[in-house]
Amino acid sequence: MNRLEMLNALKADIDILARADEATVLGALPGWDSLAILLVVSHCEHVHDLEVRGPQIRACHTVADLLDLIKSLS
Amino acid sequence: MHSSLSNIRVAGIAVTTGSIVRDFIADGLAAGVERTALERTAQTIGLRERRVAAPGVTALDLCADASERLLAEMGLDATSIDAVIFVTQTPDHSQPNNASLLHGRLGLSKSAPAYDLSLGCSGWVYGLHQAALLCAHGGAARVLLCAGDTLSRLTNPGDRSTDPLFGDAGSATLVEKTGRAAPFHFVLGADGSGAQAIIVKQGGARQPGGPLTEKIDEDGNRRHDANLAMNGADVFSFTLREVPTSVQSVLRHAGFSPESLDALVLHQANRFMLSTLAKKIGVDEDRTPMGVVEKYGNQSSASIPCALVDGLGDRLTTGSLKIAGCGYGVGLSWGAFAGEFGPLAVAPILPFPR
């Protein structure tokens, strides 16, 4: 899966990321909370077969950081 | 650890819930949370109502009520019970244990041992294994397993990551020795390196007391050291990692396939978790009871017996079902089981006091 496909999969799976791009600041999104982090954990496991921990996701500032994280664990 | 135990059966189950109904949306609005955020969480996670214990009511009271109703349903005298096991993280006292208090309250025989297991959401499976051991190898013919908690007492109303989740309940399960039952299979495990993921720091010998200073986490949730703290994302990761493999392992030992199961009964943490686990294990949602958490909340160790009664009670009273399941939670710990359940006695789910 290339980077654009990874982004599109995230946007399709997690409603609050539906209009996001790589520059989107996660903390500025309404609804970026513990539930959103849980959804990202689920997405990574389901789509990428990756185990991602909550603190790793919390450390991401932008959507680009999130994609970098997924790429680094793949 | 894998364990197979023969010549035992689950003879009956009863569940008693707390009597106070709490509504997720109404409580959230009262706490100042926006309705859209609440509805998003309710829809995604599957939270609607929960039942919590009335002031002064404990897990012991709920389990005692369930036990009395189960014995009445089965027409059994309490003196016919050979042992009582009580699974709880919210006992009445640090000493004596809840099992001894229940022993006295029900009037059990002096030859019946009574002991607690300190476990949460995985605890009913551990208790079932322990009761089955006593019947298969320990000289008992009839063991009363009680499992319940009042976790709603431990959460902070200002902690939205735990407070809306938990309901209070007590269960009673009667396990009997029998000469003609197929074996029950268990896979039990623990990962103590994750013990901090679900914790109440204060109240034990390490931190018996002290000032209760509330702190606010990065999501704005408030709690102090005597409150239940849970790292939801880490618990979710642990569950996805351990539960499917444990269930698949116990199915292999039992010679069951996911397709052959009548039901997959998992700890009722939330609908999102249950749906994700069912998909990974390969059992469709129609065979995976999920209704408990939206009616009663996460009932800790009482949730699997409650799901058995709520989702399968009618079928269990009349026939035999091939069931597998798993409890998972504090410890971190997990316990998967597989076996034939029923026909068995089922007492209706009722609140206490009524």
Tell me the per-residue pLDDT of B115-141, one tens digit each, with 9 for 90 and over.
999 999 999 999 999 999 999 998 999
- Judging contacts by C-beta atoms under 8 Å, the chain A residues touching residue B45 are 35
pLDDT at res. B138:
86
Of B171, B185, B174, B176, which Cα lies nearest the Cα of B305? B171
Nearest-neighbour CA in chain A from B79: distance (Å): 48
Peptide bond into B332 cis (omega under 30): yes
Q: Which residues of B touch A37 (CB under 8 A)?
A: 232-233
Q: pTM for this one?
A: 0.94
Q: Could you tell me which residue, A38 or B10, shows the higher pLDDT?
A: B10
What is the rounded average pLDDT of the residues B85-91?
98
CB contact under 8 A, B234 and A38: no
Is B240's CB within 8 Å of A45's CB?
Answer: yes
Asked whether the predicted pLDDT for residue B181 surpasses 90, the reply is no
Burial class of residue B112 (count of CB atoms within 10 Å of its CB; 0-12, 13-18, 19+): buried
The 10s digit of each residue's pLDDT in B251-270 is 999 999 999 999 999 999 99
> What residues of chain B lie within 8 A of the CB of A47, using their CB?
none
Residue for token pair 């019946």 = B112
Parallel, antiparallel, or unpaired for β B198-199 and B184-190? unpaired
Interface size, chain A vs chain B, as Cβ–Cβ contacts under 8 Å: 45
Active site residue B253: no
Most confident of A36-40, B163-167, B171-175, B236-240: B171-175
pLDDT confidence bin for B94, thresholds 50/70/90: very high
Quick count: other Cβ atoms within 10 Å of Cβ B284?
11
Residue B324's pLDDT is 98
Amino acid in position B86: F
**Nearby residues of B80 by Cβ (< 8 Å), 6 or more positions away:** B142
Alpha carbon of B266: minimum distance to chain A alpha carbons (Å): 18
Residue B218 has pLDDT above 90, yes or no: no
At B215, the pLDDT band (50, 70, 90 cuts) reads very high
CB contact under 8 A, B241 and A51: yes
Alpha carbon of residue B98 to chain centroid: 16
Rg (CA), chain B: 19
Helix axes B98-106, B59-74, angle to 10 degrees: 40
Contacts of A31 in chain B (CB under 8 A): 37, 40
d(Cα B190, Cα B1) in Å, to the nearest integer? 10
Q: Is the pLDDT of residue B32 over 90?
A: no
d(CA B104, CA B114): 10
Residue pLDDT, tens place only, B46-83: 899 999 999 999 999 999 999 999 999 999 999 999 99
Contact A51 B240 (CB under 8 A): yes
Residue of B33, B160, B162, B219 to mutate, testing the A interface (most A Cβ within 10 Å of its Cβ) = B219
Question: Does B292 score more than 90 pLDDT?
Answer: yes
Mutation target vs A (from B36, B44, B245; most A CBs, 10 A cutoff): B44
Average pLDDT of chain B to the nearest whole number: 95
Q: List, in sequence order, every beta strand (DSSP E) within chain B.
A: 2-5, 8-17, 20-23, 49-52, 83-87, 114-117, 142-149, 169-177, 184-190, 198-199, 215-216, 222-223, 229-230, 263-266, 321-329, 333-341, 345-346, 350-351
**Nearby residues of B292 by Cβ (< 8 Å), 6 or more positions away:** B268, B299, B303, B306, B307, B310, B311
CA geometry: angle A31, A35, A39, nearest 5 deg? 105
How crowded is residue B78: how many other Cβ atoms within 10 Å of its Cβ?
18
Q: Is residue B352 within 8 Å of residue B17, measured between CB atoms?
A: yes
Whether A42 contacts B239, CB under 8 Å = no
Which phi and psi (to 5°) does residue B20 adopt? -100, 125
Share of chain B above pLDDT 90, in %: 90
Residue B180 has pLDDT above 80, yes or no: no
- Confidence band of B26 (pLDDT split at 50, 70, 90): very high
What is the reported pLDDT for B116?
98
Cα–Cα dist B42/B46, whole Å: 5
* pLDDT, tens only, A2-57: 999 999 999 999 989 999 999 999 999 988 888 889 899 999 988 998 989 888 99
Chain A, nearest residue to B40 by Cα: A31
Express the helix, strand and coil content of chain B in percent, nearest 5 each: 40, 25, 35
What is the chain B residue with the closest CA to A43? B276
The residues near B302 (Cβ < 8 Å, ≥ 6 apart) are B15, B62, B124, B147, B148, B149, B169, B170, B171
Query: Is B98 a residue of the active site?
Result: no
- Judged by a CB distance cut-off of 8 A, whether residue B40 touches chain A is yes
pLDDT of residue A31: 83
End-to-end Cα distance, chain A:
10
Which residues in chain B touch residue A58, judged by CB atoms under 8 angstroms apart? Answer: 218
Give which of B31, B310, B294, B33 is closest to B165, Cα–Cα.
B294
CB A40 within 8 A of CB A66: yes
High-pLDDT (> 70) share of chain B, %? 100
- B211, B312, B321 from B263: Cα distances, Å: 47, 8, 8
Closest CA to B186 of B238, B247, B241: B247
The helix (run of H) or strand (run of E) holding residue A45 is helix A34-48
